[in-house]
Chain A
Amino acid sequence: MAMTGLLRAFLLAVAVAAPLCGAVQASERGARAEAFVAALTGEALAVIADKTMKPDTRHRRFAELLYRDFDLHWIGRFVLGRNWRAAEDDQRAEYLALFAETIVFTYSRRFEAYDGQMVRVTGHREGKRKKYVFVFSEIYDPEGAGPVISLTWRLFAEGEGFKIADVAIEGVSMGIAQRNEYASVIQRNGGRVDALIAAMRTNLERLRADG
Chain B
Amino acid sequence: MKRNKTNCLKDLNAALHSVFEDNDNVILIGEDLFDPYGGAFKVTAGLSTKFPDRVHSSPISEAAITGIGIGSAMRGQKVIVEIMFGDFITLAFDQIVNHAAKFPYIYGKYLNIPIVIRTPMGGYRGYGPTHSQSLEKHLLGIPGITVVAINHFFSPGQLLLNAIDANKPVIFVENKTLYPMKVGMNNDKLNIKTTDDYFPCTILCNNNEIEKTDVSIISYGGVSKIIELLMVKMANEEIWIDCIFVTEISNIELTCDLIENLKSENLLFIEEGTEKFNWSSGIIAELAKKNDNKEYQYFSISAMDYIIPASLDAELEVLPSLENIKNQIMEIL
Q: Say whether A and B bind each other.
A: no
Q: Give chain B's interface residues, CB within 8 Å of chain A.
A: none
